[in-house]
Amino acid sequence: MNQPDQLLFHYREEPYGPYWERIRTRITPVPIADMDVVPDLEYPNRGMDKERYAHESDFIRLAILLRTGGVYADIDTIFVNPLGGDLYERPFVIGRESEVAQHPGEPPTAALCNAFLMAEPASEFARLWLNQMPEFFDGSWSAHSTQLPELLRAQHPQLLRVEPERSFYPHMWTRDGIAALFEQRQPDFSGVYSMHLWAHLWWSRWRRDFSRFHAGALTEDYVRAARTTYALAAQPILAAASARPR
């Protein structure tokens, strides 16, 4: 969709399987086992550390962008329109998401989502964010990763560009948003660059609090036949991939 100069896939443990074998020659795999940018994360409550992999990634992605610049996207991202050329002219780009409550019972506050980021090398906003993340980390999903960048935006609005929800998150992390992706059909992609799939909320077939959809249902047959928003976005990509020699 975007024809990047280079596509870097950062990983701690190399993936495996038929899809990985098909893509690995078209990308640059980058092991990150030696990256020492994650602080000693402390969790106030038992069970919160099950999200440690995601929290570590929050630190690593900013460190990589500081070093090389470029476009970062979570692996559960699908692009539907090419990124606007003017976005590349900004020192840092991030998208707004719905308000989030840091802890149960607290009022929601404004948030910026770190599932999609663009940055020039040595971005000042990325540096400020990464430096303050250890102080704001409390084991929650949002304090350091979505609410802190909003606080920094209010203090340093000149350092970044904030895109509206529709640019990168037209379907939010709610039951309605996930249903819009995988059960309903919303064909209007105008003003949408990419869609985030919030896979951690539905990937397991045993998790039903956000959706009855799960990874086992996300097959090539589903993409070909389903009349849903995700299938509509993925069908051209699957068709192009199927046309290439294996």
- Residue 203 structure tokens: 């990937």
Q: Which of 54, 48, 157, 77 is nearest to 112 (CA)?
A: 157
What average pLDDT does the segment 212-221 reach? Answer: 96
pTM: 0.93
pLDDT at 34: 67
SS3 112: strand
Residues 113-154 have pLDDT tens digits of 999 999 999 999 999 999 999 999 999 889 999 999 999 999
Q: Pairing state of beta strands 194-196 and 77-79?
A: antiparallel
Q: Cβ neighbours of residue 178 under 8 Å, at least 6 residues apart?
A: 171, 198, 201, 202, 210, 211, 213
Q: Is it the case that residue 224 has pLDDT exceeding 70?
A: yes
Quick one: what percent of the chain has pLDDT higher than 90? 78
pLDDT at 179: 98
Three-state helix/strand/coil letters over 37-95: CCCCCCCCCCCHHHHHHHHHHHHHHHHHHHHHCEEEECCCEEECCCCCHHHHHCCEEEE
Q: Within the chain, where are the H helices?
A: 18-23, 52-68, 124-136, 148-155, 165-168, 175-182, 220-225, 229-243
In angstroms and rounded to an integer, the radius of gyration of the C-alpha atoms of the chain is 18
pLDDT at 101: 73
Residue type, 193: Y
Residue type, 114: N
What is the rounded distance in angstroms from the CA atom of residue 137 to the CA atom of residue 51?
13
